[in-house]
Structure 1
């Protein structure tokens, strides 16, 4: 049954991504319906009373699910059509991935009650920083247009969406608000993983690719926030740090799990 929910959610996302920006109410309602279908399908597929299905596809799908919610809420305060055209197609693809790559089942019996909370906080951190990365891409395009002064008002849906974005300074404030919240959640994820490693994962803390990439991403976002506060970093420096930090974080779990599950055909450890 949940397979049909995945397909319907993908269709709603795809249609809403293609609607013209003047259909604001239809986009809002359609996105909300797709989000509810997406969440229901994820819950039915991944969660039972005694086990949790995990894998790169489910993690990516869950991340985009929360990212869609963040876009939907932000769009109620600001016109973020460019974000819609970036986020919703990615969400439509991510919805379908668990059908192809189901991941592995983790038994929750005998595990700490902290384990699902650790996963939930990690996904919130991933999602917030995913939206920040999309936001940074929009800012880079917006800044490029201002510098080159190209007349792209009638060259397509995406170009018009860029024109409708808030002022660059407003976009920058939103970006750092997202990064600050995402960094806080990522800090909680790192601390819970380090302090409760044996209780969460059944093994003492050890340095591995996932840990190294997560810590590197945390360091990059921390340096960016410190540079913003003490040195006034902005513009290309902020965008570069954001996208590099996001790419590193993506490698930490989704990238490594993709290699293990799809390339090496190994189950979830």
Structure 2
């Protein structure tokens, strides 16, 4: 019985991967992932000369892989592209911040994140988008994914902030490369921007569900987790504004709100596409 279920699951997984696995797309993904790995592999004396061109190549290649999957002959979307776009947006934020804060030190971890994000989009391209979908559906998805990206950037900054605070308490020099208060301000700016986009996404979903998806609004797992995430982030921002919440308690609330949002779409799609082998 178990081998039979395993064979069936393996067959479903293969059918999910193979439709978009053209040789050119795999080659493009391999080049992007290899370019992301450069910061971790090249010797320190070559860092300045090799890292910036490699990350620029990786960033462009990663974007091309995502566009190929979503705008190709058979447009697809699912948890893999959603997480991959989130990683790409975090790396975009990092690249922009480096222009103002060249001392920022998170390159190795973000390069690893980028390589994993590329392979996620290739291995789990998702289900074909319905032909009858509303023309506004891509905008709705874009709002949701932009919210993912901003909150993921907030999580990265919060992790750097916690690490810098821990090092300062131990009397060590912080290795984040950015002042602690600056990290804190940036964290909550990303939280605020992500919260605004999450609010817009939820309002669009509630008010225009029938136009977007061809059905009325319903309280499914995605809606429940999204609303719980909104409530958690709203409480965090209200506590920050009214009571000056900061430090590890505020970071834990951020982690909880982001995790709930992750479960709302990416988590549920993972269960449907990989565990259950269904598209909806």
Alignment check: 8 A CA contact 1:14 1:89 kept: yes
How many Å separate the matches in 1 of 2:117 and 2:45? 23
How many Å separate the matches in 2 of 1:104 and 1:175? 34
Match of 1:30 in 2: 54
TM-score, length basis structure 2: 0.85
Would you say 1:232 and 2:244 are equivalent positions?
A: yes
Q: Secondary structure at the match of 2:75?
A: strand
Deviation string for 1:145-183 (max 9, x for gaps)?
111235xx7xxxxxxxx5252111111011111111111
Alignment check: 8 A CA contact 1:83 1:135 kept: no
Match of 1:189 in 2: 201
The alpha-carbon deviation at position 80 of structure 1 amounts to 5.8
Cα–Cα, structure 1 residues 227 and 203, in superposed 2: closer, same or farther, change >3 Å?
same
Match of 2:224 in 1: 212
Gaps of 5+ in 1: 154-161
For the aligned residue pairs, the C-alpha RMSD in angstroms reads 2.0
How many Å separate the matches in 1 of 2:146 and 2:204? 14
Match of 1:157 in 2: none
Gaps of 5+ in 2: 1-23
Q: Secondary structure at the match of 1:76?
A: helix
How many Å separate the matches in 2 of 1:251 and 1:24? 39
Match of 2:38 in 1: 15
TM-score, length basis structure 1: 0.88
Instruction: Work out which of the residue numbers 111, 124, 128 in structure 2 matches 1:101.
Output: 124
The alpha-carbon deviation at position 94 of structure 1 amounts to 1.5
Larger radius of gyration between Structure 1 and Structure 2:
2
How many Å separate the matches in 2 of 1:31 and 1:140? 26
Cα–Cα, structure 1 residues 61 and 166, in superposed 2: closer, same or farther, change >3 Å?
same
How many Å separate the matches in 1 of 2:66 and 2:85? 7
Match of 1:242 in 2: 254
